[in-house]
Structure 1
């Protein structure tokens, strides 16, 4: 963790999924010295994604991610596993972007709301609050998600019923803070195969 006068520093970050109304968001507190790769894991677990797709961070004009090969990695400015959060985001109110699943193009805006001293006895990362369930994976981005929500309003329509069957049980209003925090604590789930 980052140290300032011997005190570990914590970033309070709001993670908001762009292009969705009503909003889907989480408020988390994370160690300032975590790597962007570790922050990626926190975002996945807090939001409820399955971590089965590529992703990247955009901070200013720089892009950070997992260098996969020359086709993908050549456009990145740095490997996210080698960059600490407090090296690239240094102030409150700073905003940056996280994109998950380049096909569905789930864009998230991350805002550093506060930089705080760590509280003794608190296991970081921690989710403080949030609203609404994460969309199902591979539902087609914000536009496909909107279609899914519309289908929930007309479940007897054959076209809607097919979409609802594909999505499975899904409550867009659900948010379980205890379940999110349980996922954030070790041992964490293995990555998607």
Structure 2
């Protein structure tokens, strides 16, 4: 509370109450605040909070490991964070995705034998919800356009009857990262439920109040879309490392430089750790502006 003039009765008071939601309106007391709310609620916007600084890593990547540091606005939706990750890692946004808050105390899921896998797939095809082992996640935040991607068929194994799901375009980052119920959660972003490109999302700090995404650091060239999981990516890197590439390796390099959804005409030779932060940030700015 501080000295000033009430914005409803206009009386000067030694101490005023500030609107706890936006912090911009001041009142002499609760009565004036209640009287003002029917009008003020239309303009009242939550006070902007500091951005989140996230280190996002593809943990299965090696030599080099691929990671980016992103500044993410507190008010961003998880759908916006998805697009920012796509840009930062050079993905082509051609597949489905989800975010999960993993419970670090959850029991491991069993490894299926082929008969159990077939039985579960048949149950899923029949529209049955069959939980695959114990609950793993506190919450699952899903692609609102999941049904438009063929790889969404593989996402059934990430569903669980005890795990609530929300649409990524309706959920804000700050709301979830601040949840006391899962403050110890390990966040994961999964892109392409077929190839399963898992990304660990680590909260490493808070920044300034910011409306824009920024990529401040990183390592490792973006992975080729549809490379065929990590094994396919490693085989592509081996092709560029070969002193005398085989015909098959030459085909792989031609595909990456000309035909991949996120092709790179410069290839990978000598560029495996390459990250162009200026280009990423230019794309973040123009792409996110288009979403406004």
Q: TM-score, normalised by structure 1?
A: 0.84
Does the alignment pair 1:163 with 2:252? yes
**Deviations, residues 27-60 of structure 1 (Å, cap 9, x unaligned):** 0101112111111011111111110100110113
Does the alignment pair 1:34 with 2:125? no
Structure 1 runs of 4+ off > 6 angstroms?
71-74
Counterpart of 1:17?
58
Does the alignment pair 1:8 with 2:85? no
Which structure exhibits the higher relative contact order, with contacts defined as CA atoms closer than 8 Å and separated by 6 or more residues? 1
Q: Which structure is higher in strand share?
A: 1
Distance verdict in 2 for CA 1:18–1:189, change over 3 Å: farther
Name the count of aligned residue pairs. Answer: 185
Residue 88 of structure 1, CA deviation? 1.3
**Is the radius of gyration larger for structure 1 or structure 2?**
2
Residue 20 of structure 1, CA deviation? 0.6
Distance verdict in 2 for CA 1:56–1:7, change over 3 Å: closer
Does the alignment pair 1:109 with 2:200? yes
**Pick aligned residue for 1:125 from 213, 234, 256:** 213
Counterpart of 1:176?
276
Distance verdict in 2 for CA 1:131–1:93, change over 3 Å: farther
Q: TM-score, normalised by structure 2?
A: 0.57
Cα RMSD after superposing both structures = 2.8
Does the alignment pair 1:48 with 2:85? no
Structure 2 stretches lacking a partner, 5+ long? 1-20, 24-46, 103-136, 258-264
Q: Which structure is higher in helix share?
A: 2
Question: Contact between 1:94 and 1:111, CA under 8 Å: does it hold in 2?
Answer: no
In 2, distance between residues paired with 1:159 and 1:63? 40
